[in-house]
Each structure stands twice: as structure tokens, then as C-alpha cells.
Structure 1
Amino acid sequence: MDIQRQIPASFDRVQRTQYGYNAKQVDEFMQRARVSFESPQSAARAVKSADVRAVSFDPIKGGYAAAGVDAALDRLEDALARRERDELVAERGEDVWLREIGRLAGMLRGRLHRPDGQRFRRPAKAKARSYNTTDVDDLCHDLIGYLEEDKPLSVDNVRRAVFRPAVGKDGYEESQVDAFLDRVVELMAAID
């Protein structure tokens, strides 16, 4: 697998008056990922697909354009997830991988099959930002179709899901929805 396709040498920058990702932070992470990908045994700490999913960069004027960096991170995460799957299958067998996928899918299905409006917690604070319950529930219906009915759904649709804002108990708690969607992305990246 060609790492250059996953991580370009540089990224486009936004205008000096606009905010983008901190270029130094992006470059350092991408270099660490490149070393980890090309020669994992020489990396101080191997970069895993979960690390790519969790990374964030400070906003800075004149930084890297988010769209290009995010697209590279998505490709990198997918490549690492495939490699992690292949390594697990090689070390412990396909049955172990299938059991792990089944366990994770079962956990996710439990929440997905809750009634609309009841899938996630409501924020404890009355004025806290939250996600529109209908938008989140609609994505959950799409996920049920993907997991149980073989309906097509791209992992990028989940990564890029945008929900209308809600306030307090009118919506779902953002952090819980985000954590759930991270696990969904982990599952989809391992399957695809």
C-alpha cells in the first residue's frame, strides 16, 4: 500500500485571515503516522486507526485547509484499519476477527434498536448544546439498514454526519452520540 496516497507531502492553506488547522501539529502527526505506517517496528509508538480518528488540531490563521487534511486522515484511518484487521487475522485467525466484529456490532445494535427519541441521553443542563434527535435517529435508521439489511452506506457518510443543533433536553447529548459514532466508524472501517 502506497503511503504517499494516504498522506500527501503538503496540504493547501487557507487565506492568512482565515482559520485552518495548525500546520506544525498536522505535519508532526502525519510524519509520526508515516513512520509508523512504513516501519512500525521503528516507531516510538505506533499510530493506530483509533489515534487517527481521535486526533485534533488547533485552529490557526493561515493554517491548512481542513477539507484536505480530513480527507487524508480518512484514507489513513481506513488503511490502518485494514492493516490492523489483516494483522489480527494473521495472528489469531479469521474466527477471532469475526467474533470481535460480531461483539461490536451487537453492542451497537442494542442502542440502534431503542425507540426514536430514546437512543441517547439528554443533556443534564437546560441550556447545553445538543443534537437534533430526528437527525440522529434518521442516521440510526440508515445504520440499521447497513448492518441488518445490507443497504449501502459509506463510512464517510457517518464520519461527515451533521446534525442540526438543539438545546438541552430537546436533543441528544453530543458527547454520547459522538462516542457511539466513533465505534460505528471503527466497525465500518474494519468491515469494508
Structure 2
Amino acid sequence: MSSDDLLDTTEAPQARPAFTLTSGRTRGYHRAAVDTFLAAARAAFEGGGDLTAADVRVASFPLVKNGYVVAEVDAALGRVEDALAARSRDQMVRSRGAGAWVEQARDEAQVILDHLARPRRHRFGRTGVLTFGYRVDEVDHVASRIVRYLRDGEPLTAEQLRGAAFRMQRGGYREEQVDALLDATIDVILAVR
């Protein structure tokens, strides 16, 4: 190796980023955190890990400058969640039969319907008057769509529920309760695909 080689400070070309990078003041997901998580998801899908569709759904990443564009990563995570859920469904159908899978999905759907049978504005616990929670009317609107999906077969996709966003209000619905019900509904949607 020559002394010129030792003084060469140019960096080796790096691998192309998996997603578009943010620029300017826009923040995106931390690249290494996303790459590490997706590598674990790939290993789980290929049988070398224990990551589940539910783990993918609750994954979160720090927001940083020059990070991955959030919408692109979220869309990819939705596809990963769908793939892991389908694999789980296929494994259960092979081991316990399609009837057991359908019965489990039906039971989960009934629990959701029973919960949403509560009167509007009283479907979830509320935060205190000085604390913010999800806006009640917006959550009730989405809850009504879930009921129509489960009861009447009206179209509703996992992507629509994943993208549900609610404004905040004092005395609103408790976020963790609403999020848990949305997650359970996504599980049912993925089960019957």
C-alpha cells in the first residue's frame, strides 16, 4: 500500500438507501433503526425470528433530519405486517384447520362488535377534563365504519385503519383503548383476507 493510498480520504460508495430521504426541515425515520427493524422482520418471515404482525404494527422510530420519508416506511411496514399475518394464518390453518381460524376471527369480531355496541360518545374511557385524548366524534365515526364492516360487510381495509388519525380534545377518548380496538380490528381484517 502506498502512502497515497493511506492519505486517500474519499469514502467508499455506500449502499443506496432503502427509502427516499427527507430534506430541509422535514424529519424522517431514523435510517439505521428502520434498517435494523426491517432486517429482523425479514429474518422472522424467513423463519429465523419471532417478530409478529402485531410487533410490526406497534413499531416506532425516532424522527431525525435526513431520515427516511415516513409515508414510504409506513407503507412498507403495512406490507410486512400483511405478509407476517398471512404466514401466521397459513401456519394455523395447516396445524388446526381452516374452521379453527375462522372461528377465532369470528370470536374476535364479536368482541369488537360488543364493545362498539355502547352508545355514541361512551364507547371508550375518557381522559380528565384537563387532559387531551382522541376527539370523540372522529373516533365514533371510524367506530361506526368498523361496525358496518363487521356486521354488514361494508368495505374497510387495514390500510384505512392504519392511516386513521384523530385530532385531540380535552376530555377525549383514551388513546390506548382506541388504538387497541383498531389493532384488534386490523387483526380481524387480516385474518379474513
**TM superposition score normalised by structure 1:** 0.88
Deviant stretches of 4+, over 2 Å:
none
| 1:182 and 2:161 correspond | no
Tell me how far 1:172 sits from its aligned partner: 0.8
| 1:13 and 2:24 correspond | no
Q: What is the one-letter code of the residue matched to 2:76?
A: A
Unaligned runs of 5+ in 2: 1-16
Q: Distance in 2 between matches of 1:131 and 1:35?
A: 36
Q: What is the one-letter code of the residue matched to 2:144?
A: H
2:12 corresponds in structure 1 to none
**TM superposition score normalised by structure 2:** 0.87
Q: What is the one-letter code of the residue matched to 1:28?
A: T
Q: Whose Rg is larger? A: 2
Give the length in aligned residue pairs: 178
Q: Distance in 2 between matches of 1:158 and 1:21?
A: 21
Q: What is the one-letter code of the residue matched to 1:127?
A: L
1:153 corresponds in structure 2 to 156
| 1:25 and 2:62 correspond | no
1:5 corresponds in structure 2 to none
Tell me how far 1:46 sits from its aligned partner: 2.1
Q: Distance in 2 between matches of 1:128 and 1:179?
A: 20
Higher helix share: 1
Q: Distance in 1 between matches of 2:163 and 2:62?
A: 19
Q: What is the one-letter code of the residue matched to 2:31?
A: A
Q: Distance in 2 between matches of 1:133 and 1:85?
A: 34
Q: Distance in 1 between matches of 2:24 and 2:142?
A: 36
Aligned equivalent of 1:65, options 57, 69, 90 = 69
Tell me how far 1:91 sits from its aligned partner: 0.6
Q: Distance in 1 between matches of 2:169 and 2:74?
A: 25
Q: Distance in 2 between matches of 1:181 and 1:113?
A: 15
Kept in 2: contact 1:129–1:174 (CA 8 A): no
Tell me how far 1:183 sits from its aligned partner: 1.0
1:173 corresponds in structure 2 to 174
Tell me how far 1:136 sits from its aligned partner: 0.8
User: For each residue in 1:131-155, what CA deviation from the matched residue of structure 2 results, as whole angstroms up to 9, or x when unmatched?
Assistant: 1111111111111111111111111
2:114 corresponds in structure 1 to 110
SS of the aligned residue for 2:154 comes to coil
Q: Distance in 2 between matches of 1:144 and 1:179?
A: 16
Tell me how far 1:114 sits from its aligned partner: 0.8
Q: Distance in 2 between matches of 1:31 and 1:73?
A: 12
Tell me how far 1:16 sits from its aligned partner: 5.0
Which residues in structure 2 correspond to 1:30-41 (within 5 Å)?
Answer: 30-37=38-45, 39-40=46-47
2:57 corresponds in structure 1 to 53
Q: What is the one-letter code of the residue matched to 1:34?
A: R
